[in-house]
Chains A and B, each alone.
Chain A
Amino acid sequence: MASKKETIVCFCEDITEEEIVKAIKEGYATPTEIKRHLRAGMGECQGRGCMLQVMKLVSQKTGKSPEEILPPTDRAPIKPVPIGVLRKISVKDGGG
């Protein structure tokens, strides 16, 4: 049986629970900072698989209530989209 420290939280970037707990102790105390520091949530799934777990760990280790823990900013596109599809979108006025 795998030991606890080998529990993988972010499958896309291979980030373990132990690494996340260590980062929180080092002061990366929000999901946003953990994302930038460890890349948890920066892979193919964009955090859909791991971010709730990361938020739960932050809540447990910092003692903050779950409502206080905000997820990182969601970035478009919501799912990975191929370049060949994106270039075809029509933009009325050239966009910002």
Chain B
Amino acid sequence: MKKNTEVAIIGGGINGCTIAYNLSKEGIDTVLLDKGRLANGATGRSGAMIWSKWSDEPNSNKELLKVGLSTAERFAELEEELDYNIEYKTSDSLTLALPEEEGYYKAVANLKKNLGIHIEWLEPDEIRKEAPYIDVDNNPVSGGYHIFGHLANAGANPFYTVEALATNARRLGAEIYTYTEVIGIEVENGKIESILTTNGKIKTHIVVNAAGAWASDVAKMTGIKIPTMPYRDEALITEPLKPLPYLVICENLWARQTKTGEIIAGEDAIPIREPGYNAEASLGPLKRTTEAMQKYIPRLGNVNILRHWGGFEDITPDELPILGEVDELQGLILACGCNGYGFCFSQALGKLITDLIVRQEKPKVMELFSLGRFSREYREYSGRWYGSC
């Protein structure tokens, strides 16, 4: 194992691997460490959906919208640049609105349109004509927006994406050590000096915390408390099907058809969740997800479910990620708190963190993501938000 490095990244998920690739491309000496294999946390368990983040909320901040769209734009270039089949696929989708949601979704559709996304509003009659397999007669659907195949409505295979980034990072000189757990971070005079791992010590002055659900545990090794907390989320996958022209998103259901034909689906908001590291899938989400799928697309009733699994999201109190430097400790860079949209947001995150490390660039949006947005008192007080559980 290397004894010295400019930057050490903790966490081999989509964010850690994106940062490793970006830094290596800039010629920075980089080491990436993971306590297990790559993509073993939220990344490999995610739906790996790519969209224009924050464009689903009509009142989103302009800076957020810009950075949210940039991540989708970057994904569109990735397959070619990495020279690797990551099963990237754009697709059409239909988001259905219930009567009470109509105004809200119309505002969302308008916002997406202004971002340059090819979108149109469909009335129930038009849905019936365009997608006859969607049941609008027995559901109180008052319309919906149709996004045409666009870079802001895409997905990829999370394992292959991480493999592609890691392979390219290695090619450019990065060292990636899997099954190597970080057990300590040595600090002297408010500055990081080295990290201790189960395979030895590495001297470094910059540590990037991209540990996802384990990020607050990693930060705690340096005495810094960050308000992220692991929450379980679950998803399922069907057998491969012929491409469906539209998949439906509605009533807390999200779904995506992969390039190889399987439908990955799950719940958008989890009514009952518990913090902690229990990844065991449970019956409730399986029942609710399958119910919603068949309710809106009755013919899916005969389709087999192959797998159902659980994973962790690192949740923050305001659902924004926590990125950038920490006032109290020189050399610690946070790249965590992605609230379940880490795969989608990874390419913007990777650029922001790389620009920060290489060029000390701090665009305005980084203020919204800074740890400093939570007061020290809040971080101390909100005991339930940090630390090991």
**A interface, CB within 8 angstroms of B:** 30, 32-33, 36-37, 42-44, 46, 73, 75-77, 80-84, 86-87, 89, 91, 93-96
Contact = CB atoms under 8 A, between A and B. Distances in A.
A13 to B, nearest CB: 9
Nearest to B162: A36
A80 B304 contact: yes
A15 to B, nearest CB: 14
B304 A32 contact: no
29 contacts: A36-B39, A37-B163, A43-B306, A44-B239, A46-B306, A75-B281, A75-B306, A75-B308, A76-B281, A76-B307, A76-B308, A77-B308, A80-B239, A80-B304, A80-B305, A80-B306, A82-B302, A82-B305, A83-B302, A84-B294, A87-B290, A87-B291, A87-B294, A89-B283, A94-B271, A95-B284, A96-B274, A96-B282, A96-B285
A83 B306 contact: no
Contacts of A81: 304-305
A2 to B, nearest CB: 26
A36 B44 contact: yes
Contact of B37 (A30, A43, A75, A95): A30
B294 A83 contact: yes
Contacts of B308: 75-77
Contacts of B293: 83
Nearest to A27: B178
B183 interface: no
Contacts of B303: 82-83
- The majority secondary structure among interface residues of chain B is mixed
Contacts of B273: 96
A95 B290 contact: no
Nearest to A30: B37
B300 interface: yes
Interface residues of B, number: 33
Given A33-B37, A76-B308, A94-B284, 7 more contacts: A36-B39, A43-B306, A81-B305, A83-B302, A87-B294, A87-B301, A89-B286
Given A37-B159, A83-B301, A95 B307 contact: no
B389 interface: no
Residue among A32, A73, A83, A84 having the largest count of chain B Cβ atoms under 10 Å: A83
B127 to A, nearest CB: 21
A82 to B, nearest CB: 5
B364 interface: no
Contacts, number: 86
A87 B304 contact: no
A88 to B, nearest CB: 8
A5 B40 CA distance: 30
A83 B282 contact: no
Contacts of B272: 94-96
B287 interface: yes
Contacts of B44: 36
Interface in B227-274: 232, 238-239, 271-274
B309 interface: yes
Interface in B6-55: 37, 39, 44
Interface string B128-161: 0000000000000000000000000000000100
B289 to A, nearest CB: 9
Nearest to B263: A83
Nearest to B232: A96
Residue among A33, A77, A86 having the largest count of chain B Cβ atoms under 10 Å: A86
A32 B37 contact: yes
A44 B306 contact: yes
B48 to A, nearest CB: 13
Contacts of A33: 37
Contact of B285 (A37, A77, A87, A95): A95
A96 B305 CA distance: 19
A83 B305 contact: yes
A77 B303 CA distance: 13
Contacts of B238: 83
Contacts of A84: 294, 301-302
Nearest to A89: B287
B10 to A, nearest CB: 20
A46 B239 CA distance: 11
Residue among B273, B281, B287, B293 having the largest count of chain A Cβ atoms under 10 Å: B287
